[in-house]
Structure 1
Amino acid sequence: MQWSVIFKKELLENWRNLKWIWVPIVFILFAIMDPLTTYYLPKIMDAAGGMPDGAIIDIPMPNSVEAMMMSFGELGLLGVLLTVVIVMSTISGEIKSGVYEMILSKPVKFTNYVSAKFFSMMLLVFVSLALSIIAAWYYVMILFGTINFNQLLMSILFITIYFALIVSIVIMVNTWTQSPGLVAFISLAIIITFNVLTNIYGHIFTWSPALISDYIGQYLASGSLTNDMWYTALTALILTIICLQFAIVTLRSKVLH
């Protein structure tokens, strides 16, 4: 009962802030931007003119998997940035405004408080991801070729697991400071460092969650799920739980002190 009350409060607050409208729309724009631009760029350049006489615009068209991975790439970059922005004041904003003290003055469990906020944000992120990837798949099917829909659904599941880690990192950092801007900066620093280390030592950290997008590309191309992909998803889930546990412990220590 306590958990559901906090969860419903967060859903209602996201609705009042219109996040349930503009966040999915922005995610969809991110996802469809690259495939549409890639397909229509030669036509746009040709229609705009300004090319020398006899010049031929010959830009190789990607296949359906490559076009779909453009969408995953944008979500992995701009989608992560937007996720950090919408989560950065989830707890820090309440601590700064004093709402946090009002809530925890009642017998509210720290676990319920943190997990309800996490799952409310994840529901918003999941819906936004699913809608944006399905929208991108629709245009890729029309313009570039077919992609198995069941594979697409499985890809949505794995990218959602990666975004769960992103949300948990931001929520953990939320408990460190009252400044949402500082939360965003520290969270992005952690995420960027994590990705840089993966790029450098990817041959060692083959289960790094930062490689999920690469494994999704391999899966869409081959149609088979590798063990590395499953282990990477498991690693992301374990790290998510660890980050949330850190957030709970930090909040509990703040109250005790």
Structure 2
Amino acid sequence: MRQWQTLVKKELLGNFRDRKWIWVPIVLILLAVMDPVSNYYLPQILDAVGGLPDGAIYEMPQVTGIDAITMSISQLSSLGILIFVLISMGTIAGERKSGIAELILVKPVSYTAYIMSKWTALLALVLVSYIVSMLFAWYYIGMLYEFIPIGDFLLLLFFYGLWFILVVTLSIFYNTVFRSPGLVAFSTIATIIVLSVVTSMFGQKLNYSPSNLSNHALHYLQTGDISGALIGSAVTTISICALLLVWSIYIFQTKEHAS
């Protein structure tokens, strides 16, 4: 436990020195608020650039708070995930490639403590950035459109946050498989894309897929009903994360012993 705490502090301090605790939340805040704010001020933006052509009629659709928060989630699901993958792709692979991992593991440091410290520190950065960005989005959506009840918003925050936990865990897993950060990033993104495509193709049979977390969470916002599908997707996601972590430790230990 003491090893894990020491390594987590080291990772958190490293992220602070790299200014990740500053720029990652700022970028995510911009992503989360960009679409809702730009959609609200679209008429003024059109007027500023000369308006619509003569004879053209554009009726602004009525946007609800749920519609606006969906815009934020859409941005975080694409560009946000890309950022998370980029900041995590060298977490272990980079240290293995440079030989730093071997120097750390020469000391009486367990493989479990090493992997779990990387996962914990990265998860802290990702989740804090995600929560802060969504809080900004919730506030601006409330000011411009309508406030989503705080209880409903917090449940959305929790369930959708599981998807980002899976992304981080996938990245850690591929960090133990490959020594190249580029391969880690490619494999993580490819896995997410394949999972999303397969889920969309076999939606009813894969109703508990982690890729459905956002859809089920938004359905909860619309209906106020925590469906069995939402709980099932959450349990599936947590189970996959646990299995990937155990597998990561086993693979890393096996590869390091072999080398």
When normalised by structure 1's length, the TM-score is 0.97
**TM-align CA RMSD:** 1.2
Q: CA deviation at 1:217?
A: 0.9
1:1-257 matched pairs, under 5 angstroms? 1-257=2-258
For the residue of structure 1 that corresponds to 2:78, the secondary structure is: helix
Aligned pairs, how many?
A: 257
Unaligned 5+ segments in structure 1 are none
Unaligned 5+ segments in structure 2 are none
For the residue of structure 2 that corresponds to 1:178, the secondary structure is: coil
Q: Runs (4+) of structure 1 moved beyond 2 Å? A: 50-57
Distance (Å, rounded) in 2 between the aligned partners of 1:256 and 1:110: 11
Identity %: 42
Q: CA deviation at 1:10?
A: 0.5
Q: CA deviation at 1:161?
A: 1.2
When normalised by structure 2's length, the TM-score is 0.96
Q: CA deviation at 1:245?
A: 1.3
Assess if the C-alpha contact under 8 Å between 1:38 and 1:61 holds in 2: no
Distance (Å, rounded) in 1 between the aligned partners of 2:114 and 2:156: 30
For the residue of structure 1 that corresponds to 2:41, the secondary structure is: helix
- 10-19 vs 31-40, which deviates more? 31-40
Q: CA deviation at 1:226?
A: 1.1
Assess if the C-alpha contact under 8 Å between 1:173 and 1:186 holds in 2: yes
Distance (Å, rounded) in 1 between the aligned partners of 2:226 and 2:7: 37
Distance (Å, rounded) in 2 between the aligned partners of 1:70 and 1:22: 21
Give a deviation string over 1:142-179, Cα, whole Å, max 9, x none.
Answer: 11112101111111111221111110101110112221
Assess if the C-alpha contact under 8 Å between 1:140 and 1:146 holds in 2: yes
Distance (Å, rounded) in 2 between the aligned partners of 1:104 and 1:146: 50
For the residue of structure 2 that corresponds to 1:184, the secondary structure is: helix
Distance (Å, rounded) in 1 between the aligned partners of 2:52 and 2:3: 65
Give a deviation string over 1:31-56, Cα, whole Å, max 9, x none.
Answer: 01111121111221122215333543
Distance (Å, rounded) in 2 between the aligned partners of 1:170 and 1:77: 16
Assess if the C-alpha contact under 8 Å between 2:29 and 2:133 holds in 1: yes
Distance (Å, rounded) in 1 between the aligned partners of 2:256 and 2:182: 23
